[in-house]
């Protein structure tokens, strides 16, 4: 990779590096908060703040987070987080909207356990924070995690493995599957079962003929087919196959008349990135099929910033990292193209290999 940059280009790269560091700091602060103190903002405190100041619930929540995250109003970077990042990330969600989802209205089951797997109703407390969608990337590369809360308690179904949440039907799941539900058609294959939300929604569409779910855990399949599938109005369209997803994608899928595939076997984007890259490799075996991947925007973000880090290191050191072969970067605009969603998506496997995130498997 050759760099032919002006001093103005280098200045823009330095600003982008500063933005990357602020993004990372804000995300790290939020991750710690969500993992350790997600219910630290209490209902009584927020209600009092709203009544006393006339602030909106979101403004009051941001004020509370300013304190909880330890942000210093005298610090320039912290002021930027307070002024731009927090208001852009925090949203008070409408619980009625999510409870109006067809799955919520139709599917209701008792808690049930089978060995290490469990179907259970969980809940979040009023003002308890959670991620509700993929992050937003602003034109200046500011990255805003989307953190939501409800004003009242909100219950939701979940699949647990050994007491750990494996799949939940929180706003994050319904929001991040919205495009997949809209785009699927014909004969559909989905890798990963969970609570069957995607098969439920896909099977309701007139232009979907069938939905084949590929799941490798027999106990999960039994829980689903015995307790959830009978409640689906279009269950006759749905079949569940007990098989390894990667084996199916390589050896079985190319022989089918499938039109659309959704890959969704990971718990979150953090553990899913190597699997996402492997599915992208296998998707090349079936170019006639439309593929989509759960949490793809988040996983592209996980590739974007290490990729930019390599570009930045090259700018500072002058050493060629051999990234993208003999590509020449003639200005900051070329760097923006490399960091775009489409470019990273199209070069995801090559980028994953270069960053040592993924190695091509030999199956």
Q: pLDDT by residue (tens digit) across 170-194?
A: 999 999 999 999 999 999 999 999 8
Give per-residue pLDDT as tens, 46-69.
888 888 888 898 999 999 999 999
Give per-residue pLDDT as tens, 194-251.
899 999 999 999 999 999 999 999 989 999 999 999 999 999 999 999 999 999 999 9
Question: How confident is the model at residue 229, as a pLDDT?
Answer: 95
| Burial track 26-40 (b if 16+ CB lie within 10 A, e otherwise) | bbebbeebeeeebee
Question: How confident is the model at residue 316, as a pLDDT?
Answer: 84
Token digits of residue 138 = 């602003």
Question: How confident is the model at residue 362, as a pLDDT?
Answer: 53
**What is the band of 2 on the pLDDT scale with cuts at 50, 70, 90?**
confident
| Burial track 53-87 (b if 16+ CB lie within 10 A, e otherwise) | eeeebbbbbbbbbbeebebeeeeeebebbbebbbe
pTM: 0.92
Q: Is the pLDDT of residue 126 over 80?
A: yes
**What is the band of 319 on the pLDDT scale with cuts at 50, 70, 90?**
confident
Q: Give the residue among 269, 267, 279, 260 at the shortest CA–CA distance from 202.
A: 260
* % of the chain beyond a pLDDT of 90: 72
Edge-to-edge strand ranges of the sheet holding 154-161: 112-114, 117-124, 154-161, 164-168
**What is the band of 45 on the pLDDT scale with cuts at 50, 70, 90?**
confident
* C-alpha span between 189 and 153 (Å, rounded): 35
Q: Is the pLDDT of residue 363 over 60?
A: no
Average pLDDT, the chain: 92
């Amino acid at each position: 990779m050759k760099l032919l940059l002006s001093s103005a280009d280098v200045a823009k790269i330095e600003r982008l590096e500063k933005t990357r560091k602020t993004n990372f700091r804000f995300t790290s602060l939020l991750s710690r908060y969500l993992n350790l103190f997600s219910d630290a903002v209490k209902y009584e405190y927020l209600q009092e703040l709203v009544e006393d100041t006339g602030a909106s619930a979101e403004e009051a929540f941001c004020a509370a987070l300013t304190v909880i995250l330890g942000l210093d109003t005298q610090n320039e970077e912290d002021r930027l987080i307070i002024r731009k990042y927090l208001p852009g990330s925090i949203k008070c969600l409408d619980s009625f909207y999510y409870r109006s989802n067809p799955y919520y209205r139709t599917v209701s089951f008792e808690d049930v356990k089978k060995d290490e797997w469990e179907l259970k109703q969980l809940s979040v407390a009023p003002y308890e924070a959670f991620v509700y969608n993929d992050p937003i990337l602003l034109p200046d590369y500011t990255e805003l995690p989307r953190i939501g809360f409800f004003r009242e308690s909100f219950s939701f179904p979940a699949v647990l493995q050994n007491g750990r949440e494996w799949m939940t039907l929180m706003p994050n799941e319904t929001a991040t599957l919205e495009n997949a539900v809209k785009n699927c058609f014909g004969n559909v294959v989905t890798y990963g079962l969970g609570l069957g939300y995607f098969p439920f929604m896909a099977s309701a569409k007139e232009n979907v003929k069938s939905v084949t779910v590929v799941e490798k855990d027999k106990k999960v399949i039994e829980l689903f087919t015995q307790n959830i599938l009978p409640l689906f109005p279009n269950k006759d369209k749905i079949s569940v196959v007990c098989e390894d997803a990667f084996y199916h994608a390589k050896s079985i899928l190319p022989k089918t008349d499938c039109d659309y595939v959704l890959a969704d076997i990971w718990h979150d984007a953090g553990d899913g990135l190597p699997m996402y890259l492997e599915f992208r490799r296998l998707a090349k075996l079936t170019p006639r099929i439309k593929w989509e991947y759960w949490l793809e925007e988040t996983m592209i973000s996980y590739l974007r910033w290490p990729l930019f880090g390599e570009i930045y290191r090259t700018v500072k050191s002058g050493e060629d990292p051999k990234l993208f072969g003999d590509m020449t970067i003639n200005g900051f605009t070329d760097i923006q193209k490399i960091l775009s969603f489409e470019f990273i998506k199209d070069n995801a496997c090559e980028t994953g290999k270069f960053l040592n995130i993924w190695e091509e498997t030999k199956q």
